[in-house]
Amino acid sequence: MPRCDSCGKNVSLPFHCQYCGKNFCDDHRLPPNHACAGLAEWKKTPAPGVGIRYGPGGATPYGGGYAAVPPGKKPGRRPGRRIPYLKIAVAVIVIILIVLFFLGLSGHLLPG
């Protein structure tokens, strides 16, 4: 079982520090808690959520979500991916006519 490189505690799932390359327990997983050699580099990275603006395109530091949405377009829709309502209506009408045709051939639509 791996041990924490700071306190020596046995850890079943150690945290691997990307700045110094050592393994740590949950108490020493952050670089300031284990006197990391890469502490200066860790401090340069922005904290999660710093500088995020929430706008119509989503939440990013640049205010646009995953991709910038041009003005006048609805976000989340792909161009050319519309539901073909006319084609669906024609298909339903054709299926109804085929069913009525076969019911007429079998004699179920005849009076009497």
**Average pLDDT of 26-54?**
77
pLDDT at 105: 85
Indicate whether 91 belongs to any domain.
yes
Indicate whether 74 belongs to any domain.
no
- Rounded mean pLDDT of the chain? 76
Question: Are residues 106 and 63 part of one domain?
Answer: no
Q: How many domains does the chain have?
A: 2
Question: Are residues 47 and 6 part of one domain?
Answer: yes
Indicate whether 25 belongs to any domain.
yes
Q: How far apart are CA 17 and CA 26, in angstroms?
A: 11
CATH number of residue 34's parent domain: 4.10.1110
Tens digit of each residue's pLDDT (9 = 90 or more) over 51-70: 555 555 555 555 444 455 56
CA-to-CA separations, 11 to 21, 22, 24, 28, 32, in angstroms, rounded = 16, 13, 8, 11, 19
Dihedrals φ, ψ of 102, to 5°?
A: -70, -30
pTM of the model: 0.41
Inform me whether the pLDDT recorded for 18 exceeds 60: yes
Question: Are residues 2 and 54 part of one domain?
Answer: yes
Inform me whether the pLDDT recorded for 96 exceeds 60: yes
The residue range of the domain holding 41 is: 1-68
